[in-house]
Structure formats: C-alpha cells, structure tokens
Structure 1
Amino acid sequence: MSSEKFENLEDDLSSCIDKLRPQVESLSLYIGEQKRNAVRQAEKKVEEANFIIQEMETEAKSAPIQYRTQMLGRLRQYRRNVDQLNKDLKRQSESGFSQADNYGFDRDDRMEASQRGRLMQGHQSLARTNESMARSHQVAAETDQVGVEILGELGRQREVLTRTKDRLHDTDSNLSKSRKILNTMAMRVMTNKMILIVIIILELGILGGVVYWKFFS
C-alpha cells in the first residue's frame, strides 16, 4: 500500500466496525431509555465510520494509479459493511418503542443528528483546509527545491564558462607566441635565401672570371 495515512484510517475503520457490530446486534436486548441511548451510541459509530470512509476515499483518489484501484475496491467493501450495519440499526431502532417513546426519540434524534451533521461538516471543512495547506506546502517545497537546483546548475555553468574563458585566454596567448615564432622563422628563411642568392651570384661571377681568363686571355 502506498499511503500510510490510508492504512491508519483503515485500522481506525476496522476498529470502529468491530465495535459497531455488537452494538447493533445487542439492541434487541434493550428497551425504553436504555435502547434509545444504545441507538444513539450506535448512530455515532455509524457517522464516525462514514467520516473515516470519506477521508479514505479522498486519500485513495490522490494515490498513484497502480494503488488506486486496489484501495477503492477495499473501500467499497467497507462501505457495504457500514451500510448493512446502518440498515440493521434502523430496523432495530424502529422496533421496541411505544408511540410516546418514538416521539421523544425522534425529536432528540433530530436534534442530535442536526448537531452531528454540523460537526461533521466542520470536520470535513477542516480536513479540506488541511489538505489544501498540505498541498500548498508541498508545492512551495518543490518550488524551493527547483530553485536550489537551478542555482546550483547556474553556478556549475558559471564555473564552466570561467574555465572556458581562461582556456581561450591561454589559447590566444599561445597563438600570439606562435605568430611571433613563425614571423621570426620567416625572417630567418628570407635572410638565408638572400645569403644563398648572394653566394650563388658570387660563385657565378667567380666561375665567369675563371672561364674568361682561361679561354679569352
């Protein structure tokens, strides 16, 4: 199961149903005021069970899809059990009272039902508010995490750019040195060519002088 809250609610619901079942089954043993008190206690248990079921349904609907179907299936079984106990409770509560008892019971029951309804609405509103706040906190935490990751990534990119800039500076310096070396080599090559040309000219002059002296003098 993916939700610890759902499991805790399921334990609470199982405990509530286990307590409710003997209360409903024992209603036939009571009469008069005792039976009215027993019915009220059982009805409170039914409302408590329905409230837990609503919270479980909310939790199940927000669960991942791979767990949601299983959670909703178990929830439907619990709802059927509670509905059956509620039917048995109504059947038991409608029997065993005189007309005056029924009138007093219905009047008190309507008042208590109205109060319990308002109380349940308050609980539901509070639960929705808590869930909304929890989602807001989660979104804020996720936003903070994204911001931290972005700042970290920007810091890493800045370091990369700084290293790249340093490498470009070193490369430019190396290129300048290379250009100077190439210029020096070019000058030396030109000097060597000039010297070689002068030597060749001198050799040709000497060779021409020798030929002239040998054949024409």
Structure 2
Amino acid sequence: MSSEEFEKLHEMYQSLYEELKIMPERALKCHGEERKRLVRTFDERQGEAEEVLEGMEEELRAAPSTYRNAMSTKLRMYRRDMGKLQRDMKSAAPGSGSSSQAGEGSHHGIYASQNQQSTHQQSQRTLLLQGLDSLNHASQSIERSQRIAAETDQIGTDIIEELGGQREQLDRTRNRLVDTGENLSRSRKILRAMSRRLVTNKLLLAVIIIMELAILGAVVYLKFFRR
C-alpha cells in the first residue's frame, strides 16, 4: 500500500468486519431485548465501518496512480461485503415474529428507533476522526519543523566552524604580513646603510685619485721642470 494511514484504516476495518460478520448468525439465535441490543451494536459497528471506508476513499484519492487500482479493488470488495452483511442482518433480525410480515415490521421498527442515535454517534465519531486527522497533521508539521530546526542548527554549526577556520587563516596571514613588513623595514635600513657606504667609498676613491694625481703632477714637475 502507498499510505501508512490507509494501512491503519485497513486494520480498523478488518477488526470491525470480523465483529460484524458473526452478528447475523447470532441474531437468528436470540430474541427480544437481546436481539435489539445486538441490532443496536450492529448499527454502531456498521457506522464505524462506513466511516473507516470513507477515510480509505479519501486516502485513495490522494494516493499515487500506481497504487490506486489495488486500493480501489479492496474498497469495492469491502463495500460488497458490507452490503451482504446488511442484507444478512435484515433477514436474521425479524426471525422471532408471529409471521414474516410482522417480523419485517418489527425489524424496520427496531432500525428506525435506533436511526437517530446511530446518526448522532456517527457524527461524534466523524468529529473524532477529523480531530485525530488534524492531530496527525499537526504532529507531522511539528516533526517537519523539528527536522528543519535540526538541519538549520547543523548548518549554523558548520558555518561557525568554517568562519573559525577562516579567522585562523586570516590571523596567520596577518602575522605573515607583519613579519614581511618587519623584514622590509630591515631591508630598507640595510639598503640605506649600503647606499651611504657606497657614497662614502666613492668620495674616498675620488679623494685618493685626486691625491695620486697631485702627487704624480708634483713628481713630474720636480723631475722635469725644476732644475
């Protein structure tokens, strides 16, 4: 079957049918008030069975097309069985009368006297089934909400963990940038020192060259021009 609710209704109907199918035979063996009580019980159980069958029809309309044929076959069979039970009960209930006509009148009188009470009970049971159905829908909605909340909580936890990992990465990157900045500062200082040393060396070299030229000029002057 395609529906868990249909299975539950199926089990309820089977239980009611097992109780109903023995009542026509019992009605043949009892008389008077006992028969009336049996007829009343039959009416009540029949009403319950009809409500269950109506619930199964609602499930059938909502079921997927692949399951409808099997479910529809079962429903037709259950309707046929209920009709047979009703005919059997109508035949069995008036069996104790003085004649078949009187028995039939007594039978119809019993059913007529119980009609209003059965209708009221059926209405109450219908309301009860509707309340149970609403409760089931509410329970399912609560379960869905709980699942969504759990999924949302898990997603939030994952996001927090991911953000924590990203924060650690950012901290490491910032620390590396700080170290890089410090290294650049030291490199700039070294380059400035090297630049100053280079300029100083150039000046010293220029002075040395000038001094060597001056000495060379003096030597040439003293050797060749001064006698």
**TM-score under structure 1 normalisation?**
0.72
Q: Secondary structure of the residue that 1:180 maps to in structure 2?
A: helix
Q: Does 1:128 align with 2:160?
A: no
**In structure 1, how many angstroms separate the alpha carbons of the residues matched to 2:78 and 2:159?**
56
CA drift at 1:191: 1.0
Call closer, same or farther: CA 1:32–1:97 in 2, change over 3 Å: farther
**In structure 1, how many angstroms separate the alpha carbons of the residues matched to 2:89 and 2:107?**
14
Call closer, same or farther: CA 1:212–1:162 in 2, change over 3 Å: same
Q: Secondary structure of the residue that 1:176 maps to in structure 2?
A: helix
Aligned residues: 217
Call closer, same or farther: CA 1:117–1:180 in 2, change over 3 Å: same
CA drift at 1:17: 4.7
Call closer, same or farther: CA 1:143–1:42 in 2, change over 3 Å: closer
Using the TM superposition, name which of 83-92 and 31-40 deviates more: 31-40
- Show CA shifts across 1:42-88 (max 9, x none): 65664443233123334445556654553344223322443455466
Call closer, same or farther: CA 1:118–1:198 in 2, change over 3 Å: same
* Of 164, 171, 179, the match for 1:162: 164
Call closer, same or farther: CA 1:56–1:97 in 2, change over 3 Å: farther
Segments of structure 1 that go 5 or more residues without pairing to the other structure are none
**In structure 1, how many angstroms separate the alpha carbons of the residues matched to 2:200 and 2:103?**
141
Segments of structure 2 that go 5 or more residues without pairing to the other structure are 220-227
Q: Does 1:199 align with 2:201?
A: yes
**In structure 2, how many angstroms separate the alpha carbons of the residues matched to 1:127 and 1:87?**
27
Call closer, same or farther: CA 1:22–1:132 in 2, change over 3 Å: closer
Using the TM superposition, name which of 170-179 and 111-120 deviates more: 170-179
Equivalent residue, structure 1, for 2:150: 148
**In structure 2, how many angstroms separate the alpha carbons of the residues matched to 1:126 and 1:19?**
21
**In structure 2, how many angstroms separate the alpha carbons of the residues matched to 1:12 and 1:137?**
21
Q: Secondary structure of the residue that 2:176 maps to in structure 1?
A: helix
Q: Secondary structure of the residue that 2:204 maps to in structure 1?
A: helix
Q: How does 1:168-207 map to 2 (within 5 A)?
A: 168-207=170-209
Q: Is the 8 A contact 2:24 2:93 kept in 1?
A: no
Q: What is the root-mean-square deviation in Å for CA atoms of aligned residues?
A: 4.0
**In structure 2, how many angstroms separate the alpha carbons of the residues matched to 1:177 and 1:37?**
97
Q: Is the 8 A contact 2:27 2:92 kept in 1?
A: yes
Q: Is the 8 A contact 1:60 1:72 kept in 2?
A: yes
CA drift at 1:40: 6.5
**In structure 1, how many angstroms separate the alpha carbons of the residues matched to 2:204 and 2:182?**
33
Call closer, same or farther: CA 1:70–1:196 in 2, change over 3 Å: farther
Q: Which amino acid aligns with 2:104?
A: N
- Show CA shifts across 1:122-149 (max 9, x none): 1111011011012112212322332233
Equivalent residue, structure 1, for 2:76: 76
